[in-house]
Amino acid sequence: MADLLSTGVSGLLASQVGLSTVGHNISNVNTAGYTRQTTSFNARAPQYNGGYYVGQGADAVSVQRAYSQFLTQSVWSANSGQSRATQYASLTASVNNAVSGSANLQTALDGFFGAVSDLANAPVDTASRQALIGKASTLVSTFRSLSSQFQQIDQQTNQEISNSVDSINSLARSIADLNGQIQKAYAGGAAPNDLLDARDQAISQLSQVVGVNVTQGSDHMVTVSVGNGQPLVNGTDATKLSTAANPYDSSRMEVVGPGGSVISGQLGSGSLGATFDFRTNVLDPARNQLGRSAIALTDAFNKQHAQGIDLNGDAGGDFFTIGDPAVFNNTGNTGNAQVTATVTDVGKLGSADYIMRYNGTGWSVTTSAGVTVPSTGTGAAGDPILIDGLAISVPSGTPQAGDSFQIQPTRNAASTMSVAVSDTNKIAASGPLAATKASGNTGKAILGALTVTNVADPAFSTPANIVFTSPTTYTINGGAPQTYADGDTITGNGWTLKLSGVPAANDTFTVKPAGSASGDNGNALALANVANKGVLDNGVTTVGKSYSQLIAQVGTAGAQANTALDAQQSILDQAMASQQSLSGVNMDEEAANLLRFQQAYAASAQVINAANTIFDSLMTAVRG
Amino acid sequence: MRISTSWGQQQAVDSMLDRQYQMSQTQLSLGNGKAIQTPADNPAAAARAVDTNSASAQNDQYTRNIQSATTRLSVEEQSLSSAGDILDRIRSLTLEGMNGTQTDESRQSIATELRQTLQQLVALGNTKDGQGEYIFAGNRTTTQPFTIDGLSVNYGGDQGQRMVAAAAGLQVATGDNGADVFMSIRGGNGTFVTSAGATNTGTAVVGATSVTDASAWDGGSYSITFTSATDYEIRDVNDPTNTVLSTGTYTGDTGTIAFKGAQLNLTGNPATGDTFAVGPSSSQDVFSSVAGIINAFEAPGGGAAMNNQINAQLQNLDQAATSFLDTRTKIGARMNTLDQQTQIGADVKLQYADTLSSLQDLDYASAISKFTQQQSALDAAQQSYVKMQNLSLFNYLK
């Protein structure tokens, strides 16, 4: 007869394993990455007892994870997407906060142009001149403060990149170590459930930082690659990624693979990929747009300012100053060429950055995104390379084939802006010329608008005497006779003068420099009108409009990021729900299992008791 | 379907956090009254709000420009009105002085008063605006435009005219230079001037002159020479052959001489050999007209010579009064334009405010109802969470 005692003991032991597993599940109910485990039992091989088999109890044969490779992989992938969206939304929100904060550029622009108008109302008043310089300083500091907020966000992305690379390296190391431990643990034939969970959890954490691609090997080890196939973990080996300064712009950080090549652009999803994407697609365009606004304002205002004369009677100098486009040498350059760039036509200036390469015979220019830019010129002295409103020249040094340079025309322009005028007398509010009708004129012609067309004309400041030799002909400074009809415009050296009415013979009109202390407000009116003048995009976009474009650009990026985050969050929730539905611990289920195994244990104990009782009965019978 | 206990709890907590976040966003909006917290909330509206704000600020600036222009124009209008009054006073003093009963002494005292009024007229020409700038100086607003030396007045300003931007593309003049208003006044009747020969001995005085046929008047210079007390000959001064153009007779105490569309009214009796010159008007300043009257009064003797001089100057004064009136009419037109523009500006300001409000202001009614909804949603989430947590099989395992 089969051994009832050992059968009871087998049930006792099997139930103990079941109870332990339930206990383990309950204990790990809140452990991240834990996979619910179940115990499976087998009936022991029966004993042949001549004519029939008698069962010999049960064995706990394995403890398994409730695991699906597919569901886990989809959680990893959703994790990458969600973490990317979170990071992108949070960085984009910081740019949004920068432009919606108190440093409102539009208010500063309005205040500045308001002060220019006030100057036009009181052109020789020192207080209105002082107020204008004050408002100009406010405007410049607003430009600078926005620019520095953007720069801080740029620094923050550097910090994010560095932290992300550190955590990638440490997670890669753990995964490689766990690979080794798992392979050893499998030597006994059983799956090391908790080690597998730990490895999955490490991969899940890695997937938050960077998109991963995981392949199961036959040796129970996993191969992990990131981004576009960059291998990271292979067996027990982990590749180390590192950070390095951008070869052009040392202020920005890039991710470098083990071979030394820059892999920043190949990282795909995850928070690290989002950081690079944000930098390229949100931050840089916003900074460039801000810089472009600053350049446009400086250029348009200075040009108009130069058209007027100040209280000393001198032509207006620069009102604002702004730095030239930044040019960076590639650290790998072997030649010693120096490259400089200047803005020649703000109307054509875009918000791209450019890379200029030398192939041994000539230069070619592409945008930083790699789009070829048509250019003219050789870059030699007197023949600069002309692209998109920029003139690039190589004034000194000799380039070698393969040398390259990066040109950032607008990136940091706003931070280099400053007010050049500090002396109130140097504000050129007055028009440069004054027209006079001689007091002895007998005709009825009167002065109309005097318009400046070209202050650079060499004879611009030469006084011009317009003498009518008859009601229909006139000479300028005794030159060739010209014909005049009522309402005609007389053209001089860099100016035009409209007359109306019929003059008499010998009537004289004079155009000459207005001189110092002129209370004319002609140029101040023109300066105030710069606010409404299309400057950018071939004379279409005003400075103010370029700022509202920046707002729309940043706002749209923010809105898109928020929508993407909502979508990614629900994808992750679904993936997690499916995976947790299979692998998560349900306490009610565990409670039921606890009862089940408790009862089985008690029953097995009862079997042992029965075995004991029948053995006692036998002994009593034998003793008689 | 199985529910993972910890995931289920996490989901419940997440949903509570989510609702709390939404409530805090609504609360933030309720707190500062803004529908757009960052441009990401509504990029298009945020950009339009920036544009509208800017347009509104510019509109406000135009209103300020108009205020400053109106002040300046009012000052100018006021001074020209006073200048007109002074001209009236000069005219009545002059007529009084021309009265045949006056003596050299009494004319002298009238001349003394006229000197005073001339000073007043110059002072008005030097009027400053609220910012201390001379309004009649053209663009030399910091230089005193009129300086008086004896009886002669010089203009030191220029012929510039200050403009103000009253709206986009609309500039309105905020002043008139002294050269136009006080200095370049057409003499005589505006078309021609007359003067009596310095050696005339008769009592003939040229009174009012007029142009009867503007197309016949050719702007030349002519002389009228009396060959007897009643006959006169008219010649073109610039004709080297000195040909007589026409002849006529003047009989008696009053009469007219007309030629080439010009008509002169004469009174008194000319002597043989008396001459009168007729020439095109040229510019004449109001101060020298007054100075001419003063000089005529101060010269002893009176009589036809004085009357001829003064009559010519009185015509000039009329021209000056017309010039002041014309300028005041122009000022009135400008102020009308500015008033209209102020009205338009005020309307536009309201529209901008309306647009801005619809773009960025919070709709409180809907925000509060949203807040209440979110509150009950959070409340429901919290209550159901607590109920769910109490449902555990372990509660029954005793």
3-state secondary structure A524-554: HHHHHHHHHCCCHHHHCECHHHHHHHHHHHH
Token pair for B117 = 């009024």
Stretch (H or E) spanning A169: helix A126-185
Q: Which residues of A567-583 are buried (b: 16+ CB within 10 A; e: fewer)?
A: ebbebbeebbbbbbbbb
Each residue's pLDDT tens digit, B17-71: 999 999 999 999 999 998 888 899 899 999 999 899 999 999 999 999 999 999 9
**Cβ–Cβ below 8 Å for B139 and A118:** no
User: Using CB atoms, which residue from A518, A525, A558 is nearest to B38?
Assistant: A558
Question: CATH: 1.20.120.450, 3.40.228.10, 1.40.20.10, 1.20.1330.10. Which one for B30-188+295-362?
Answer: 1.20.1330.10
Q: Are residues A47 and A54 in contact, defined by beta-carbon separation less than 8 angstroms?
A: yes
Cβ of B54 within 8 Å of Cβ of A100? The answer is: no
Contact across the interface for B6 and A122, Cβ inside 8 Å: no
Q: Work out the burial of residue B199: count CB atoms within 10 Å of its CB; fewer than 13 is exposed, 13-18 middle, 19 or more buried.
A: exposed
Chain B residues near residue A442 by CB distance under 8 angstroms: 219, 280-283
**Rounded to an integer, what distance in angstroms lies between the CA atom of residue A321 and that of residue A129?**
18
Look at residues A330, A158, A147 and name the one whose alpha carbon lies nearest to residue A248. Answer: A330
CA–CA gap between residue A269 and residue A282 (Å, rounded)? 16
| Backbone dihedral angles phi then psi of residue A366, each to the nearest 5 degrees | -130, 165
pLDDT at A103 over 80: no
For range A594-599, the mean pLDDT: 94
pLDDT for position A283 = 95
What would the mean pLDDT of A388-396 be, rounded to a whole number?
Answer: 90
Domain ranges of chain B: 30-188+295-362, 192-280
Q: Chain B residue with minimal CA distance to A529? A: B168
Residues of B in contact with A435 (CB under 8 A): 159-160
Whether residue A429 contacts residue A524, with contact meaning beta carbons closer than 8 Å, is answered with: yes
Question: In the structure encoding, which two tokens stand for residue A387, read together?
Answer: 């692209």
What Rg do the C-alpha atoms of chain B give, in angstroms?
Answer: 41
Give the Cα separation of B319 and B187 in Å (integer): 7
Distance, in Å, from the CA atom of B291 to the CA atom of B114, rounded to the nearest integer, reads: 9
Residues of B in contact with A525 (CB under 8 A): 163-165, 171
Check A93 against B40: CB less than 8 A apart: yes
Tell me: pLDDT of A1 over 50: no
Q: What is the interface size between A and B, counted as CB pairs within 8 Å?
A: 208
Q: Which residues pair with A225 in a beta bridge?
A: A213, A231
Min distance A561 CA to chain B CA atoms (Å): 9
pLDDT of residue A2: 54
Q: Does A227 score more than 80 pLDDT?
A: no
Q: Find all residues with CB under 8 Å of A521, minimum gap 6, and list them.
A: A119, A120, A121, A123, A429, A430, B162, B163
Kindly give, in sequence order, each residue whose CB lies less than 8 Å from that of residue A496, ignoring residues fewer than 6 positions away: A450, A451, A453, A489, A490
Confidence class for position B388, pLDDT limits 50, 70, 90: confident
- In this predicted structure, the answer to whether residue A189 has a pLDDT above a threshold of 90 is no
In Å, how far are B86, B93, B121, B291, B333 from B116, measured between CA atoms? 10, 12, 9, 11, 33
Interface test with B, best of A29, A507, A509, A548 (most B CBs within 10 A): A548
Q: How far is A589 from B392, CA to CA, in rounded Å?
A: 10
Q: Which residue of B has its CA nearest to A437?
A: B159
- E strands, B188-312, are 192-196, 205-211, 222-226, 231-236, 244-249, 254-259, 262-267, 275-280, 283-284
Lowest mean pLDDT, pick from A505-509, B133-137, B189-193: B189-193
ipTM of the complex: 0.84
Question: What is the mean pLDDT of the segment spanning A329-334?
Answer: 91
Among all residues of chain A, which has the CA nearest to that of B10?
Answer: A30
Average pLDDT, chain A: 91
Residues 537-576 of chain A whose Cβ lies under 8 A from any Cβ of chain B: 544-545, 547-549, 551-552, 554-559, 561-562, 573, 576
Q: What is the pLDDT of residues B144-160, one digit of tens each?
A: 999 999 899 999 988 88
Dihedral angle sign, alpha carbons of residues A271, A273, A276, A280:
negative
Distance from CA of B109 to the nearest CA of A (A): 33
The set of residues, in sequence order, having a beta carbon less than 8 Å from that of B371 and lying 6+ positions away, is B23, B26, B27, B30
Q: Assess A107–B contact: CB distance below 8 Å, yes or no.
A: yes
Q: Which residue has the higher pLDDT, B211 or A624?
A: B211
Which is nearest to B146 in space by CA: B191, B113, B174, B182? B182
Task: Give the gap in angstroms from C-alpha A555 to the nearest C-alpha of chain B.
Answer: 4
Q: Is the pLDDT of residue A415 over 90?
A: yes
Question: Can you tell me the distance from the alpha carbon of A339 to that of A327, in angstroms, rounded to the nearest whole number?
Answer: 7
Q: Which residues in A lie closer than 8 A to residue B280 (C-beta atoms)? A: 442, 504
Nearest CA among B11, B49, B33 for reference residue B389: B11
Residue A243 has pLDDT above 80, yes or no: yes
Cα end-to-end distance, chain A, whole Å = 23
Pick among B1, B3, B4, B56 to test the A interface (most A CBs inside 10 A) = B4
B164 contacts in A (CB within 8 Å)?
120-121, 525
**Continuous H helices in chain B:** 5-32, 43-98, 104-125, 178, 286-298, 303-360, 364-390
Distance CA(B335)–CA(B341), nearest Å, equals 10
CA distance A261 to chain B (A): 36
Q: What percent of chain A has pLDDT over 70?
A: 99
Q: Is A525 near chain B, with CB under 8 Å?
A: yes
Contacts with A106 from chain B: Cβ below 8 Å: 50, 53-54
Rounded to 10 deg, the angle between the A543-583 and A284-305 helix axes is 170
Task: Tell me the residue length of chain B.
Answer: 398
Which among B61, B133, B159 has the least Cβ separation from residue A117?
B61
User: What pLDDT shows up at residue B132?
Assistant: 87
